[in-house]
């Protein structure tokens, strides 16, 4: 069997690459080792499929802290707004939600996945499901793919779109790295990003805050000089092993990178009330204590923060919950308020890569031509999606990167094969 373009991997970037190759007139084949196409798309956005993000281009790139700047060149050809138009043309209406996240109006991921599959059918691209690749052989004129069942497929252009190592149940088990190395590519160290963090702090070990959700807090990762590397203001949750939730996921890659540099623990700083000024907060509590000296300190502080956190903080500062306001010194309240604004604790690790949402590291972008996604090491070889050393925050940013790089890889693979 011989094709112009073969794409390995039926996730977001592979589907987009196959469509782009077909639209550019290439005889196209898509190989998927699993039983379904678009599995990652189907689970994104909590199963509602967060196809892209509508923020301005610069903002989107800012939300892809792992080599996002590489995408400026691909974005000049096809960007997040083009993704929205692309789906609209296929009859998939999108709506905007918080932080620019774009979902399809039906709220069902199937709509998006089916639209892509129908488009492939329309273009006459062949799709082989349940077709794991055993080996890839590179040659001067064309490349040969050998499937596990022994079939051989020849192709002029090959697009590798097999994902990273995160969320392995979708089929991303790191198969593509060996094929990339064989073609002379460097694969940078792989690590989990968008991942929950673990901590050996006593309050985690004794589960005193387990299950506590905090809304709209500011969470920072501190460097060796105790200065913030990054701060995210979002929700978070304390778990039986550490911390999780949106703010934690966004901070996680910065923690993991610090640990990879040899630090045994990384301090984090939590501001439970980021929209309140410390001095004003202190004054309002002191005024309440003055006007109601007979009230218990817990009643005075009630409602400032969630009750479980309040109980924990009171006991951490040796304040009895039923103690009358008059019996609490100004200095103690000062320390208590300072702690609400500067709650410092250490994290010691993260959940493993297979539990992460996104893979950090991958094929070095220095070895890829940004405008075409072509390998600088091997003719007729293209990469797209999460196998590349590009990673962003959740919220439609990784899928944007996958769809954009997929589009450009497929288009250029077809152009090279046909001309």
Task: Supply φ then ψ for residue 55, to 5 degrees.
Answer: -60, 155
Measure Cα distances from 126 to 112, 114, 138, 157, 355 in Å: 19, 15, 22, 15, 33
In this prediction, residue 11 has a pLDDT band, given cuts at 50, 70 and 90, of: very high
**Coil, strand or helix at 380:** coil
Tell me if 319 sits within 8 A of 328, measured CB to CB: yes
The structure's pTM equals 0.94
Given a cut of 90, whether residue 148 has pLDDT beyond it is yes
Query: Which pLDDT belongs to residue 167?
Result: 87
Q: Alpha-carbon distance 349 to 258, whole Å? A: 10
Tell me if 220 sits within 8 A of 230, measured CB to CB: yes
In this prediction, residue 169 has a pLDDT band, given cuts at 50, 70 and 90, of: confident
Per DSSP, 188 falls in state: P
Q: Alpha-carbon distance 38 to 22, whole Å? A: 18
The radius of gyration computed from the CA coordinates of the chain, to the nearest angstrom, equals 25
With a pLDDT cut of 70, the percent of the chain lying above it is 100
- For 64-74, b/e burial (b = at least 16 CB within 10 A) is bbbbbebbeeb
Length of the chain measured in residues: 419
Query: Which pLDDT belongs to residue 185?
Result: 98
| CB-count burial class (<10 Å; 0-12, 13-18, 19+) for 189 | exposed
Element (H, E) at 95: strand 94-96
Which DSSP string corresponds to 9-41? --SHHHHHHHHHHHHTT--EEEE-SSS-S-HHH
Q: Alpha-carbon distance 279 to 339, whole Å? A: 13
Query: Which pLDDT belongs to residue 87?
Result: 97
Q: What is the pLDDT of residues 359-401, one digit of tens each?
A: 999 999 999 999 999 999 999 999 999 999 999 999 999 999 9
Q: What is the pLDDT of residues 57-104, one digit of tens each?
A: 999 999 999 999 999 999 999 999 999 999 999 999 999 999 899 999
Query: Which pLDDT belongs to residue 170?
Result: 87
Query: Which pLDDT belongs to residue 171?
Result: 87
Q: What are the CB-based long-range contacts (under 8 Å, 24+) for 122-126? A: 123/19, 123/22, 123/23, 123/28, 124/22, 125/18, 125/19, 125/21, 125/22, 125/28, 125/29, 125/30, 126/3, 126/28, 126/29, 126/30
**In 3D, which of 71, 76, 66, 170 has the Cα closest to residue 384?**
71
Query: Which pLDDT belongs to residue 47?
Result: 85
Given a cut of 90, whether residue 187 has pLDDT beyond it is yes
Q: Which residues contact 329 (CB under 8 A, 6 or more apart)?
A: none
The stretch 324-340 carries a mean pLDDT of 94
Q: What is the mean pLDDT of the chain?
A: 96
**Coil, strand or helix at 323:** coil
**CA torsion, points 357, 362, 363, 368, in degrees to nearest 10?**
50
Q: What is the pLDDT of residues 336-362, one digit of tens each?
A: 999 999 999 999 999 999 999 999 999
Q: Alpha-carbon distance 381 to 159, whole Å? A: 6
CA angle 171, 172, 176 (to 5 degrees): 115
The stretch 391-418 carries a mean pLDDT of 97
Strand blocks (E) in 138-276: 143-147, 152-160, 191-193, 197-198, 213-222, 228-238, 242-244, 266-271
Sorted by where each starts, the structural domains of the chain and their CATH numbers stand as 2-191+355-418 (3.50.50.60), 196-350 (no CATH)
Task: Supply φ then ψ for residue 182, to 5 degrees.
Answer: -60, -30
Q: What is the pLDDT of residues 155-168, one digit of tens each?
A: 999 999 999 999 88
Task: Supply φ then ψ for residue 10, to 5 degrees.
Answer: -105, 40
Query: Which pLDDT belongs to residue 253?
Result: 97
Query: Which pLDDT belongs to residue 46?
Result: 83
In this prediction, residue 323 has a pLDDT band, given cuts at 50, 70 and 90, of: very high
Query: Which pLDDT belongs to residue 43?
Result: 85
């Amino acid at each position: 069997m011989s094709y112009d373009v073969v794409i390995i991997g039926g996730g977001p970037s592979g589907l987009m690459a196959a469509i782009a190759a077909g639209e550019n007139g290439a005889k196209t084949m898509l190989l998927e080792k699993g039983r379904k196409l678009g599995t990652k798309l189907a689970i994104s956005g909590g199963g509602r499929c967060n196809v892209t993000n509508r923020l301005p281009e610069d903002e989107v790139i800012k939300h892809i802290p792992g080599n996002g700047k590489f995408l400026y060149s691909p974005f000049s050809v096809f960007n997040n707004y083009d993704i929205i138009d692309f789906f609209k043309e296929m009859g998939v209406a999108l709506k905007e939600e918080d932080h620019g996240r774009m979902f399809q109006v039906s709220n069902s991921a199937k709509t998006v996945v089916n639209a892509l599959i129908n488009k492939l059918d329309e273009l006459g691209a062949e799709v082989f499901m349940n077709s794991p690749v055993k080996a890839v052989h590179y040659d001067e004129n064309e490349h040969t793919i050998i499937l596990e069942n022994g079939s051989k497929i020849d192709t002029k252009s090959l697009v590798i779109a097999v994902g990273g190592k995160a969320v392995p149940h979708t089929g991303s088990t790191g198969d593509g790295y060996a094929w990339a190395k064989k073609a002379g590519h460097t694969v940078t160290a792989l690590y989990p990003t968008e991942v929950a963090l673990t901590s050996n702090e006593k309050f985690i070990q004794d589960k005193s805050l387990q299950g506590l959700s905090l809304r709209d807090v500011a969470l920072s990762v501190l460097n060796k000089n105790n200065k913030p590397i990054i701060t995210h203001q979002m929700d978070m949750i304390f778990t039986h092993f550490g911390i999780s939730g949106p703010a934690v996921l966004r901070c996680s890659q910065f923690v993991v990178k610090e640990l990879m540099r040899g630090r045994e623990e990384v301090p984090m700083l939590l501001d439970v009330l980021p929209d309140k000024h410390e001095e004003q907060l202190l004054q309002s509590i002191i005024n309440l204590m003055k006007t109601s000296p007979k009230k218990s300190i817990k009643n005075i502080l009630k409602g400032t923060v969630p009750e479980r956190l309040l109980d924990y903080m009171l006991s951490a500062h040796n304040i009895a919950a039923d103690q009358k306001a008059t019996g609490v010194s100004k200095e103690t309240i000062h320390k208590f308020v300072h702690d609400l604004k500067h709650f410092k604790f250490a994290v010691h690790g993260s959940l493993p890569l297979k539990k992460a949402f996104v893979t950090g590291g991958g094929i070095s972008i220095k070895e890829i031509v940004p405008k075409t996604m072509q390998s600088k090491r091997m003719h007729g070889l293209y990469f797209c999606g999460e196998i590349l050393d590009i990673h962003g925050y959740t919220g439609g940013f990784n899928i944007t990167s996958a769809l954009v790089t997929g589009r450009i890889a497929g288009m250029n693979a077809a152009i090279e094969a046909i001309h």
